[in-house]
Structure 1
Amino acid sequence: MSETTADLPTPVDTLAVDFDAGGTATTINRNKGLLSVGFLGLVATQFCVALIDNMFRWLIVPIGSELIGSSELALSIGAACFIVPFLIFAAPAGFLADRFSKRNVMVACKAVEMAVLCLGIAAILLQNVYVMFVVLFLLGGQSTMFITSKLGGIPEMVGTKKIAAANGIINMASMGAIIIGTILGGVLYDLTGPLGLKNWWISAAALLGASGAGFLASLTITPMESANPSRRFTPDIAGQTVRDLRLLWSARPLFLAAAASTFFWTLGMISQLNIYLFADESLHLDLNRDVGVLLGVLTVGVGIGAVLAGICSRGKIELGLVPLGAAGIAAAAMLMAFVPGGAENQPLGAGFYCSCALLFALGVAAGLYDIPLQSFLQDRSPAQSRGSIMAAYNFMTFSGMLVASGLFWLLSSPLGLSARAIFFIGGLAALPVTLLIIGHLPFQTARLATRLLIGLFYRVRVEGVENVPECGALLVANHVSWVDGVLLGLTSPRHPRLIAYAEYFNNPWLNWFGRLGRIIPIGATRKSMVDSIRAARGALQNGEL
């Protein structure tokens, strides 16, 4: 095992400037990091939002089941009441995120949340199931507003180098809150007796207490300026949604990232619904007692995968993780079709534990897949219209989730496919997506594969990485071995244009890799040297490394 130290240069210019997708320079406050009070306040607020949404949802769904007389209908209405607001309120959420300070929007959302919960508690006391579901719809609406501003605000709070890590932390907090909220919702239902009326104050105290804590946490979120104070509101919500989608479509890399993320959320919804069918049909589990473990394992896996994606990104957005995550999703989903079945008299057997392991792996792969895509969307969106881009992205993902519900019904009921078959089909669907992603991200995929391969033979310590300037710069390194250039390219926070001897690239594979890495070849002739120097000079003038 070799150890190599990469020493990077001292900065010649300390001005930190980021360029958005439209070429507009935006300054970033580099002093705001992942341990700042402002960012930790955002994490705590997001945790409370997800916690309350799931606590209230899983408190009123069983109450609604008793009042309506159908658990299936109550579950369907509950899911629709939470998903549909993300479609209806996507455009207004984008407007608010662009027109006003994103921090102020999030604080206002938390204040509205407390008022809505008061209405929800009153609905439980009045035993009005319709108002209960209206309250769940309103909570979905305020979550739409909050999440859009949250997604748009992260780049302003932490800067490009920490976006992936920030998303990983926030997604981990969200996954934890979903698990805890789902469990607490069931606990509150049990504690408050039939229809939530007995000891109803326990539900009120838990919901309003968590909401109040979230409101206080929101006050500590980093202040942010309005991105587009001149933007005007349009009452044509449907028309604005179409315009937001066109804006996203016009930036092809952003649209492709959004489409890839939408595939993840669509497949995720199908998997979540299919777990119930799989638990009953193949494992013979108690749906009220044991299926929560399977869902919890999947959710924990997504959270851990999100954190791993942030760690692996190392100060940049590592899109090479996307095809790796897609391949992992495909493999884990298809293997679920071959899990041993459970016996009715002993359901918690080998099949149950194999399912837990595969669902955990599926979740980890999903986290590795989605975090780089989400971070890319946030980083490359123009600052003045980032809210609209995030709104269009939310519209696409939740539309995919809605389509997934119908697709699952089609596969499981009219077509009569088993849960194993549905998992296998989902895995098969991920294979062409993996190949498409590799086709669109060949350099990023090759870079990550090389990084993993190099890690088997070298232990690399990097010093001075913060000194790499944002402007054009020339790195002059000691050239001890052929691997030096590879290590420099892998450890630098910006992709450097290496200058290498042209004869090395006569090999077709090395030639392909050199073109992917945009290496500048230099030959032995005078003309080749002049051409190479001109190419290097042009790269420096364009701000490249």
Structure 2
Amino acid sequence: MSEIHVGQTAVMQSNPPEPAQRTWPHAENGRGGLLSPSFLALVATQFFVALTDNMFRWLVVPIGSKLLDSPERAVSIGAACFIVPFLIFAALAGFLADRFSKRNVMVVCKAVEIAVLCLGVSAILMQNVYLMFIVLFLLGSQSAVFITSKLGGIPELVRPEQIATANGVINMASMAAIVIGSILGGVLYDRTGPLGLNDWWISASVLIGVSVVGFFTSLMIGPLRSANPARRFPWNPVGQTVRDIRLLWSKRPLFLAALASTFFWSLGMLSQVNIYLFANETLHVGQQRDVGILLGVLTIGIGLGAVLAGICSRGKIELGLVPLGAAGIAVASMLLAFVPGGAAGQPAGAGFYWSCCLLLALGMTAGLYDIPLQAFLQDRSPARSRGSIMAAYNFMSFAGMLAASGLFWMLSGPLGLSSRVIFFLGGLATLPATFFIIRLLPFHTARLTMRLLVGCMYRVRVEGAENVPDGGALLVANHVSWADGVLFGLACPRHPRMIAYAKYFDNPWLSWIGRLGRIIPIGATRKSMVDSIRAARLALQQGELVGIFPEGGITRTGQIGEFRPGFLSILKETNAPVVPVYLGGLWGSIFSYAGGKFFWKLPKRWRYPVSIRFGRPIHAPADVDQVRRAVEDLEDLGSERT
């Protein structure tokens, strides 16, 4: 990634290449940062929800396998009891998240969880296996309601530029809780005996105690207002779920993001259930501990990838990570088909360790893939219907997971395919999905590619990005090198439409790049200039950013040249301010005219240090000199700091 350091405050939320003026719902609620007490309480609460769910699940499933005398049946029933509620109660979860305060919904869910776990302990003492699975169903039900409010509440608890990172942190906490909960569930099972009756008070104390702690952390989540107090109760849940999905369908970008995320969860379920077969059939590891290690590595990888996605987003929703993650999923899945096999009865060998590495890579790339999609769904969902959209998304995701479970049964059972082939087919199916995503997101894919290239060549420091307003603004910068436009665009909080000479885009390849970046071309004729000014003015009126280098060319001396006055005419009939921008440190790079030539010189150093400073907006500038002085002041500011 490009190493872009941000001075003062974080870079603001990035918009796609067709940005419009944005207003954030509940901005007056005082949303804090990632270290705010409310968000930390949400992270802790989510951790304890996942921890208790998995502890109870992996305590009662082995008990159920003994009582039913069928491990396969117990595992299948346990999975169904936990997943089906997400489908049945999707409409109710969406209603509660919109109708009431999401914070209050989460608090009530935690209170209900305590009562349900008390019932679960009673079921173990009564040795009633069906009541155990009913309790597991109830835990899945409260989780379905909790998760919908949690997903909808994230944009109301953190600032817009931190949504992606917030999702990464919460997903990491969830994955850690899943791993720890699965391990502790097994430990409790071993400690309390095959039927859970030996020292049963230990499992009861741990389960209920952790749930009580989670209840108190939920109380520390800050107040959130109801998004739609007038929403009516969905007496027909099936019809409401259909309406929620139709609502999601009507918003094509959101539906495509939900569909792409559903693919992730479906493939994740396929990989998870296939690991059991893979461990025994290919690696020949007979111990449950080794199977747990493989599952744990995959889960930890997803959590690490989620955090990495948040870091790479750098205050933006970086959809360019989606095709990168999809490509990684495809490669890692297909490579799992070629790991060396193990020998029955022998210690874990090279194949086991290679599998751990590839499963870690699979999980990390999956996290990179899914976090931007979740952040996009949360950010772009209308506040009044965010609960319904999250409910529809959850329904699609868990329906996909059930379908993946059925697909695994068909592939491994009637079709008799090996676990190697199943992994390979999963990766193979991801390849067309990758190309489809690239086709849908060419701009974001190209932007991420440029970030990677720029990160190899430059070390960029951005200051004052908070000075760029949410609405339309004309960004005026000095021109030092051929790399200015790329660096300028990557540093901006939102994608700017750059004004550039039309002759640069006569080449078909460059013409495609110009269209992709929505460049505003300007030619030498008067008509071309008038058309360009009109296009730039319209962009400002529509709330977009427009960037221009008013010197009319790259400096030949390293000094800021005279500004041509034409850019002021763009501001007519708009309320857009001018934001001065200074590009520092580029003089002397291979793309500058230092030494009397462009390109044909060796770089003085690798990862060239560059600073990009955004000044305070200038409303209705008096003349060109006022803007030029503002850019020079930014240059002087950098000189004083050095």
Give the aligned partner of residue 295 of structure 1: 295
Q: How does 1:283-322 map to 2 (within 5 A)?
A: 283-322=283-322
CA pair 328-491 structure 1, distance change in 2 beyond 3 A: same
- Deviation, 1:25, is 5.7
CA pair 440-137 structure 1, distance change in 2 beyond 3 A: same
Q: Deviations over 1:381-425 (max 9, x none)?
A: 110000000000000000000001110000001000010000000
Give the aligned partner of residue 83 of structure 2: 83
How far, CA to CA, are the matches of 1:20 and 1:209 in structure 2? 48
Give the aligned partner of residue 133 of structure 2: 133
Is 1:407 equivalent to 2:404 in the alignment?
Answer: no
Give the aligned partner of residue 162 of structure 2: 162
Q: Deviations over 1:10-63 (max 9, x none)?
A: x9xx9xx9x999987624256511000000000000000000000000000010
Is 1:371 equivalent to 2:374 in the alignment?
Answer: no
- Deviation, 1:331, is 0.2
How far, CA to CA, are the matches of 1:199 and 1:21 in structure 2? 62
CA pair 30-471 structure 1, distance change in 2 beyond 3 A: farther
**What is the TM-score when the length of structure 2 is the normalising length?**
0.82
Is 1:26 equivalent to 2:25 in the alignment?
Answer: yes
- Deviation, 1:468, is 1.4
Give the aligned partner of residue 196 of structure 1: 196
- Deviation, 1:510, is 1.3
- Deviation, 1:501, is 0.9
How far, CA to CA, are the matches of 2:133 and 2:49 in structure 1? 18
CA pair 397-228 structure 1, distance change in 2 beyond 3 A: same
Task: Answer whether contact 2:286 2:345 (CA < 8 A) is retained.
Answer: no
How far, CA to CA, are the matches of 1:183 and 1:138 in structure 2? 22
How far, CA to CA, are the matches of 2:56 and 2:90 in structure 1? 22
Task: Answer whether contact 1:278 1:419 (CA < 8 A) is retained.
Answer: yes
CA pair 66-345 structure 1, distance change in 2 beyond 3 A: closer
Q: How does 1:142-541 map to 2 (within 5 A)?
A: 142-541=142-541
Task: Answer whether contact 1:276 1:287 (CA < 8 A) is retained.
Answer: no
CA pair 22-136 structure 1, distance change in 2 beyond 3 A: farther
CA pair 21-190 structure 1, distance change in 2 beyond 3 A: farther
Q: Residue type of the partner of 1:26?
A: P
How far, CA to CA, are the matches of 1:163 and 1:4 in structure 2? 18
How far, CA to CA, are the matches of 1:381 and 1:320 in structure 2? 20
Higher relative contact order (CA 8 A, sep 6+): 1
CA pair 93-342 structure 1, distance change in 2 beyond 3 A: same
Task: Answer whether contact 2:21 2:470 (CA < 8 A) is retained.
Answer: no
Task: Answer whether contact 1:21 1:382 (CA < 8 A) is retained.
Answer: no
Give the aligned partner of residue 55 of structure 1: 55
| Secondary structure at 1:476 match in 2 | strand
How far, CA to CA, are the matches of 1:481 and 1:516 in structure 2? 22
Task: Answer whether contact 2:341 2:351 (CA < 8 A) is retained.
Answer: yes
Give the aligned partner of residue 635 of structure 2: none
The structure in which a higher percent of residues are helix is: 1
Matched residues, percent identical? 75
- Deviation, 1:159, is 2.7
Task: Answer whether contact 2:262 2:400 (CA < 8 A) is retained.
Answer: yes
- Deviation, 1:4, is 9.7
Task: Answer whether contact 2:22 2:471 (CA < 8 A) is retained.
Answer: no
Give the aligned partner of residue 638 of structure 2: none
Task: Answer whether contact 1:20 1:380 (CA < 8 A) is retained.
Answer: no
Q: Deviations over 1:512-542 (max 9, x none)?
A: 1111111101111111111111111111111
How far, CA to CA, are the matches of 2:74 and 2:350 in structure 1? 33
- Deviation, 1:234, is 2.1
| Secondary structure at 1:497 match in 2 | strand
CA pair 359-21 structure 1, distance change in 2 beyond 3 A: farther
CA pair 544-30 structure 1, distance change in 2 beyond 3 A: farther
Q: Residue type of the partner of 2:418?
A: S
CA pair 406-20 structure 1, distance change in 2 beyond 3 A: farther
Task: Answer whether contact 2:93 2:387 (CA < 8 A) is retained.
Answer: yes
Q: Which runs of 5+ in 1 are unaligned?
A: none
Task: Answer whether contact 2:22 2:470 (CA < 8 A) is retained.
Answer: no
Q: Deviations over 1:414-466 (max 9, x none)?
A: 00001000000000000000000001000000010011011111111111112
Question: Superposition RMSD on alpha carbons, in Å?
Answer: 2.1
How far, CA to CA, are the matches of 1:483 and 1:107 in structure 2? 52
Q: Deviations over 1:161-186 (max 9, x none)?
A: 11100000000000000000000000
Task: Answer whether contact 1:21 1:380 (CA < 8 A) is retained.
Answer: no
How far, CA to CA, are the matches of 1:31 and 1:152 in structure 2? 14
Q: Residue type of the partner of 2:98?
A: D
Task: Answer whether contact 2:31 2:159 (CA < 8 A) is retained.
Answer: no
Q: Residue type of the partner of 2:435?
A: L
How far, CA to CA, are the matches of 1:141 and 1:21 in structure 2? 39
Q: Residue type of the partner of 1:363?
A: G
How far, CA to CA, are the matches of 2:20 and 2:50 in structure 1? 31
| Secondary structure at 1:459 match in 2 | strand
How far, CA to CA, are the matches of 2:265 and 2:105 in structure 1? 25
Q: Residue type of the partner of 1:489?
A: G
Task: Answer whether contact 2:473 2:540 (CA < 8 A) is retained.
Answer: yes
- Deviation, 1:86, is 0.2
CA pair 271-397 structure 1, distance change in 2 beyond 3 A: same
Give the aligned partner of residue 39 of structure 1: 39
CA pair 40-91 structure 1, distance change in 2 beyond 3 A: same
- Deviation, 1:222, is 1.9
How far, CA to CA, are the matches of 1:455 and 1:30 in structure 2? 34
- Deviation, 1:316, is 1.0
CA pair 7-72 structure 1, distance change in 2 beyond 3 A: closer
How far, CA to CA, are the matches of 2:428 and 2:328 in structure 1? 12
How far, CA to CA, are the matches of 1:502 and 1:45 in structure 2? 55
- Deviation, 1:347, is 3.9
The answer to which of 19-28 and 269-278 deviates more is 19-28
Give the aligned partner of residue 95 of structure 1: 95
Task: Answer whether contact 1:20 1:382 (CA < 8 A) is retained.
Answer: no
Task: Answer whether contact 2:342 2:349 (CA < 8 A) is retained.
Answer: yes
Corresponding pairs, count: 538
Q: Deviations over 1:348-401 (max 9, x none)?
A: 111011000000000000000000001111111110000000000000000000
Task: Answer whether contact 2:20 2:542 (CA < 8 A) is retained.
Answer: no
How far, CA to CA, are the matches of 1:132 and 1:526 in structure 2? 79
How far, CA to CA, are the matches of 2:3 and 2:217 in structure 1? 44
**What is the TM-score when the length of structure 1 is the normalising length?**
0.96
How far, CA to CA, are the matches of 1:89 and 1:31 in structure 2? 29
Task: Answer whether contact 1:98 1:228 (CA < 8 A) is retained.
Answer: yes
How far, CA to CA, are the matches of 2:505 and 2:228 in structure 1? 49
The answer to which of 38-47 and 155-164 deviates more is 155-164
Task: Answer whether contact 2:334 2:424 (CA < 8 A) is retained.
Answer: yes
Give the aligned partner of residue 588 of structure 2: none
Q: Residue type of the partner of 2:164?
A: A
Task: Answer whether contact 1:8 1:468 (CA < 8 A) is retained.
Answer: no
The answer to which of 489-498 and 28-37 deviates more is 28-37
